[in-house]
């Protein structure tokens, strides 16, 4: 069993962020100071000037250029790992061994083997680990889960997902160094960046697949990672899933569609949008949702409650590993 420091027991979480890059500017970082029982007290980035700048702009008391300094800071008792996926495992494991609960960005890692090692350390140490599949906590997707539980569209027959985007899509995050299309850092390019949100919802709604198959290719040659992926899954209850992803379609050809077809209707929505359509026979109801200012705040509330012993784990390592396995099978067969 790994050597682990005694976890810091507290009624308040003092968070440290490892990797205070773009995702933490609005989506997550500020939320840690807005959730009851939670404060952001330290940030880390390898570029010391950028870490200092982030801390000053966001009113964070401490900043570091070395992750081990943040992890071993006695004032930090919970860690959010928001680096590119390649670095999730070493930082998460180091924090867990220091006795500090970890909230790690999606995808959980670059491959299933890495995810399993992280899960093993969490299990062996007994230190909590949650994964940032934050759409599980957003009202629109909770409404979908509720409709499915109520059999609002009858018995589910199939699920279809289509994510078609041009190379310069606004959905795709762009940074100074586009690490998202470097397989050594991201895993499998933009598919591994966006599909975790989508496939996690499939498994959240319907359970882990009984089997998965898929194919992938690099058609445009703009980078080394795959730019087109197709996949199929057999879900519990003999529900069949088909999905397609392409990140080099022409301008005006964008599509972000998640469609659930039942014996008595259809539910459809964009995973990266905020309007839900419920069709029954010849009627359609459109339900609009207003996203929170900090899109991860509802999830951070649930994670904070879990780390403080006041709630269940909103997305466990096991939950995240299910979608990781499916992505691997789609890309690598």
| Sign of the torsion formed by the C-alpha atoms of 22, 325, 122 and 32 | positive
What is the full DSSP assignment across 247-261? S-PPTT--EEEEEEE
Grouping H, G, I as helix, E, B as strand and the rest as coil, residue 244 is strand
Q: What is the pLDDT of residue 2?
A: 60
The number of angstroms, rounded, from the C-alpha of 322 to the middle of its chain's C-alpha atoms is 12
Strand partners, 104: 81, 131
Q: Are 78 and 15 in contact (CB under 8 A)?
A: yes
Q: What is the pLDDT of residue 333?
A: 82
Q: What is the pLDDT of residue 66?
A: 98
pLDDT along the chain (333 residues), means of 10: 56 96 95 98 97 98 98 98 97 98 97 98 98 98 98 98 88 68 87 96 97 96 95 98 97 95 98 97 95 97 97 97 97 90
| Radius of gyration (C-alpha) of the chain in whole angstroms | 20
What is the full DSSP assignment across 176-215? SS-GGG-HHHHSSHHHHHHHHHHHHHHHHHH-S-SEEEEE
Q: Are 153 and 159 in contact (CB under 8 A)?
A: no
Q: What is the pLDDT of residue 189?
A: 87
Please tell me the distance from the alpha carbon of residue 243 to that of residue 233, in angstroms, as a whole number: 9
Grouping H, G, I as helix, E, B as strand and the rest as coil, residue 79 is strand
Q: What is the pLDDT of residue 4?
A: 56
Please tell me the distance from the alpha carbon of residue 134 to that of residue 104, in angstroms, as a whole number: 11
Give me the residue label for tokens 């992890």.
Answer: 71
Please tell me the distance from the alpha carbon of residue 332 to that of residue 245, in angstroms, as a whole number: 15
Instruction: Go through the domains of the chain in sequence order and give each one's CATH number.
Output: 13-134+296-312 (3.40.50.720), 139-291 (3.30.360.10)
Q: Torsion angle of alpha carbons 277, 267, 298, 24, nearest 10°?
A: -80
Buried b (16+ CB within 10 A) or exposed e, 280-304: eeeeeeeeebeebebbbbbbbbbbb
Q: Is the peptide bond before 181 cis (omega within 30 degrees of 0)?
A: no
């Amino acid at each position: 069993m790994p050597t682990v420091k005694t976890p810091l027991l507290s009624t308040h979480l003092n968070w440290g962020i490892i990797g205070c890059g773009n995702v933490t500017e609005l989506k997550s970082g500020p939320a840690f100071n807005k959730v009851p029982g939670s404060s952001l007290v330290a940030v880390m980035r390898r570029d010391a000037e950028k870490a200092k700048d982030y801390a000053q702009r966001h009113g964070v008391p401490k900043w570091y250029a070395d992750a081990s300094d943040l992890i071993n800071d006695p004032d930090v008792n919970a860690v959010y790992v928001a680096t590119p996926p390649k670095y999730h495992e070493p930082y998460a494991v180091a924090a867990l061994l220091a006795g500090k609960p970890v909230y790690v960005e999606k995808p959980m890692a670059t491959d299933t083997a890495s995810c399993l090692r992280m899960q093993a350390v969490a299990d062996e140490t007994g230190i909590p680990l949650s994964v940032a599949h934050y759409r599980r906590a957003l009202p629109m997707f909770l409404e979908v889960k509720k409709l499915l539980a109520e059999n609002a569209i009858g018995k589910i027959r199939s699920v279809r997902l289509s994510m078609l985007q041009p190379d310069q899509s606004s959905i795709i995050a762009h940074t100074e160094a586009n690490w998202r299309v470097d397989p050594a850092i991201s895993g499998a390019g933009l598919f591994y960046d966006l599909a975790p949100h989508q496939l996690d919802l499939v498994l959240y709604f319907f359970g882990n697949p009984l089997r998965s198959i898929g194919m992938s290719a690099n058609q445009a040659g703009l980078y080394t990672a795959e730019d087109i992926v197709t996949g199929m899954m057999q879900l519990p209850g003999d529900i069949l899933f088909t999905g397609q992803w392409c990140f080099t379609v022409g301008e005006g050809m964008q599509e972000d569609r998640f469609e659930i077809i039942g014996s008595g209707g259809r539910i459809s929505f964009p995973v990266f949008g905020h309007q839900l359509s419920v069709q029954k026979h010849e009627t359609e109801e459109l339900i609009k949702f207003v996203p929170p200012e900090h899109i991860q705040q509802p999830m951070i509330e649930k994670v904070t409650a879990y780390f403080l012993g006041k709630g269940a784990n909103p997305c466990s390592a096991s939950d995240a590993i299910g979608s990781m396995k499916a992505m691997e099978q789609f890309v690598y067969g």
